[in-house]
Structure 1
């Protein structure tokens, strides 16, 4: 896989993963079913777990491409902010849009 394809794969995975907690109402991480809808705290915890899973994917692809570059706190601050920005459409759909229930 080329470097550009790896970058786009991580970006696409981050966008999907960031919206997943807001799209799946009665599943934790898309795996464990719940009887009641998830509260916001569970969704935020899922966001943190999915951020690290996407980071692990990026790390694996970087390792496969060559040497892993050392990262400081700035890298994690920027990628965390980008991940939260990617989660905005799912948050709006779940909490801010008016949908017909029933």
Structure 2
């Protein structure tokens, strides 16, 4: 709940907030007389709209089991040699890729 106003009829004074709105420099720069164009849009750095990002390969591979024929989705291997075991419980076939 808000506080009640005093009974005397006088309103309390509101405090004014003091804000510093200044864009001035603290010191005058002696060597700052020359103009340098380093603000605004740059054309030489970063990615431009015409650049197309390189297409990424798939993160997963789809392999078909040799014995039962079910499709398996496996993460992309980091090595050239890898083995894949069929996830179908009755099959359990192990395939080796080189």
TM-score range for the pair, normalised by the shorter chain length: under 0.3
- Which structure features the higher share of strand residues? 2
Task: State which structure, 1 or 2, has the greater radius of gyration over its C-alpha atoms.
Answer: 2
- Which structure features the higher share of helix residues? 1
Q: TM-score under structure 2 normalisation? A: 0.18
Q: Which one scores higher on RCO, CA 8 angstroms, separation ≥ 6?
A: 1
Q: TM-score under structure 1 normalisation? A: 0.17
